[in-house]
Amino acid sequence: MKKLFISLALVLLCVAQANAQSKEAESALKGLAKAKETSQNPKKADKSDTWVKLGNAYTACYDAPINGLWIDAPQIQAKLLLKDQTVTGSEKKEVNGQQLTVDSYADKDLYYDESGKLFAWVIKQPTLKDEDALECAYNAYKKASDLNASKSDLSAAFKAVGQRFWGAAISASRLGENKSASVYFEKSYNATSEPSVGVVDTMALYNAGVTASMAKDNDRAISLLNKCMGLNYDGGGEAYAYISAAYKQKRDTSKSKEILSLGFAKHPTNQSILIELINTYLSTKDNPDKVLEFIHTAQKNEPTNASLIYTEGNIYKTLKKYDQAVECYEKALKVDPTYVYAPFAEGDTYYSMGLELQEKAAMETDDAKYNALNEQLNQCLEKAIAPFEKAFSIAKDNDVKKYCAEYLKNIFFRFREKNETYKAGYDKYNKYLDEAGK
């Protein structure tokens, strides 16, 4: 019974700690109550200083749970700042492929990366439950601006709010909360764009558009990024790619192409634009010569990118220019000896040529022509063996190995009575597929 009593006491203590506000929060709330009272006093409501102080009080309420922390702060400094607060638990979490340590407090969770820097935070118990502290602070400063507060006071105030919106945006984006991040980035831009500050933070506006795009909020992304480009910032051309992707999501392919073409004219070496152009033209099966033009430009920028050479081969294959396709696939493999799709595509090209010849032979009534077509078919299938075996040998994905083995099994079956090498090839891949299917 004594042990039960102790356990119950510990539980009650933890509940009390969870519900109790920090000293900082209590102090901030008292300051806010006083500032609100002053702002409602008719004799003081028309003074700009009243609203600056109200904004500062709201900012203090926002700051209370964070207690002076900042993104990328070393964990040791964070613990010093929070020395009077209890860590209620700690666990490992994977966020967007990154291993993080999460320290839980009564009012917040702090995320640290593997280097021990503060990666992000989540405020579980904000000081104000029914008001957005930062938004209220911003509005109070706007009121002070209307009452002609001193430029130096306003500049410092708006910068401070902008920095806090920026920190909230970074934290949200790192945790994959892109919709919230976009809103915070835009608010950061608005705060620092106030006349008293005079800073046009195009990076904040650009990030607002990018995170909106990542959140699939396409209309918002288009609007923000166009506004950003109107301020002569396009992220080195990336804005065009994001706007194009947003239009593609809206199924407006013609507008997507138009934006990409404008971006390509301005940034001919931007790979994001080029890859998006290539993919857009490929998906619409429109003007292969134009696609090849884009591919060749991209290859000049990245001559060792095997996927670009492979993509060129696929265009030639679609156009039934098989010799040029094979040449590209072989070149791609030389550039990257581990690029399994290149030899697989080469084998598939020869196999496809063989199927076309088989169809022609089936329609041929002249024996001599039939035999000639059949011989060409056999030559194509034999040429397919080496690239398929190469792909099989370097493939790490089991499904790719199975596809290669299936092709090889069928080819070797056709030639199994020709000699022992072909029969052994058939036995090898037939056995592999049997065992892989178990």
Cα(270)–Cα(260) distance, integer angstroms:
11
Distance CA 348, CA 336 (A): 19
CA separation for the pair 124, 82 (Å, rounded) = 16
> What φ, ψ does residue 118 adopt, rounded to 5°?
-70, 110
**The 108-112 sheet, strands edge to edge:** 89-95, 98-104, 108-112, 118-123
Pair 86, 105: CB distance under 8 Å: yes
Task: Please measure the distance between the N-terminal and C-terminal CA atoms of the chain and give it in whole angstroms.
Answer: 58
What's the DSSP call for residue 116? S
- Rounded CA separation 287/299 (Å): 19
Q: Would you say the C-alpha torsion 258, 263, 269, 274 has a positive or negative sign?
A: negative
CB burial readout 95-112, b (16+ within 10 A) else e? eeeeebbbbbbbbbbbbb
3-class DSSP assignment, residue 99:
strand
Q: Are 182 and 211 in contact (CB under 8 A)?
A: yes
How does DSSP classify residue 77? Answer: H
Task: Indicate the burial class of 423 (C-beta count within 10 angstroms; 0-12, 13-18, 19 or more).
Answer: middle
Query: Is the separation of the CB atoms in 388 and 375 below 8 Å?
Result: no
Question: Beta-carbon neighbour count of residue 289 at 10 Å?
Answer: 9
Q: Provide the 8-state DSSP code for 236.
A: G
Which domains, and CATH codes, for the chain?
Answer: 151-233 (1.25.40), 303-438 (1.25.40.10)
CA distance 260 to 281: 11
Give me 46's structure tokens. 């028309």
pTM here is: 0.68
Identify the three-state secondary structure at position 104: strand
Per-residue pLDDT of the chain (438 residues; tens, 9 = 90+): 334 333 333 333 344 444 445 788 899 999 999 999 999 999 999 999 999 999 999 999 999 998 889 999 999 999 999 988 999 999 999 998 899 999 999 999 999 999 999 999 999 999 999 999 999 999 999 999 999 888 988 999 999 999 999 999 999 999 999 999 999 999 999 999 999 998 899 999 999 999 999 999 999 999 999 999 999 999 999 999 999 999 999 999 889 989 988 888 788 767 788 778 777 877 777 777 777 887 888 888 889 999 889 988 988 887 889 999 999 999 999 999 999 999 999 999 999 999 999 999 999 899 999 999 999 999 999 999 999 999 999 999 999 999 999 999 999 999 988 889 999 999 999 999 998 874
